[in-house]
Amino acid sequence: MSRLRMILLFAAMVVSLVLLLRFLNWIPAAFQKTEVRRYRSIEDVRSGLKIRKVFLPSYFPQYLTWPPDEIFARKRPYPLVLMHFTNQQRGEIAMSIRQADVRDASPVVSRIEPVIIHSEENILIKDRPARLFIATCPAKRACISVMWQEEGYVFTITAKDSVREVTKIAESMLSEEPQPNGP
């Protein structure tokens, strides 16, 4: 009887410890304000914020660093993920990918956001309507920006690269069939 009691006591302690650790992991998320925080990895964003889906490109130019050098995200009031990628040779931010909830009227601005739009046009990316912007980014550097909606998010890729490369990156983030744009 004493041995059974010891086993049950040990099992109860293990269960209590697991529950305590889950609670301690939940506390920061419960008190998280609407501010954007920096994360170390995409996995940290997924697990820490429980964002249902973080879209990533399957095509990635070799001159850019992987994983992203900077990742900023928030869950409330609306989910947002912003990633910055660095040009390996120049050591400067060369591309950003922003995934913002369609209900977010003022998502966080990227470090390479266009400051002057020279031209814009409607394009299709895998049969989805998108906007292409030829622009100038900070430090008077030419940049391309592509924006589209998918699965309740607005995606914006801005890069100091060619139209062809930026649209290839965007295409690699999409499945073949268009998905609903609801939240």
Which parts of the chain fold into alpha helices (H)? 2-31, 42-49, 163-172
Instruction: Find all residues with CB under 8 Å of 63, minimum gap 6, and list them.
Output: 87, 88, 89, 94
User: Which residues does 128 contact at the CB level (< 8 Å), separation at least 6?
Assistant: 148, 149, 150, 174, 178
Among the residue ranges 34-38, 55-59, 113-117, the one predicted with the least confidence is: 34-38
Amino acid letter for position 61: P
| Residue 28 confidence class, pLDDT cut points 50, 70, 90 | low
Structure tokens at 8: 């049950």
User: Which has the minimum average pLDDT: 103-107, 119-123, 157-161?
Assistant: 103-107
Model confidence, pTM: 0.77
pLDDT > 90? residue 35: no
* Per-residue tokens: 161: 């690269």
Q: What is the pLDDT of residue 183?
A: 46
Contact 60, 168 (CB under 8 A): no
Cα distance between residue 40 and residue 58, in whole Å: 20
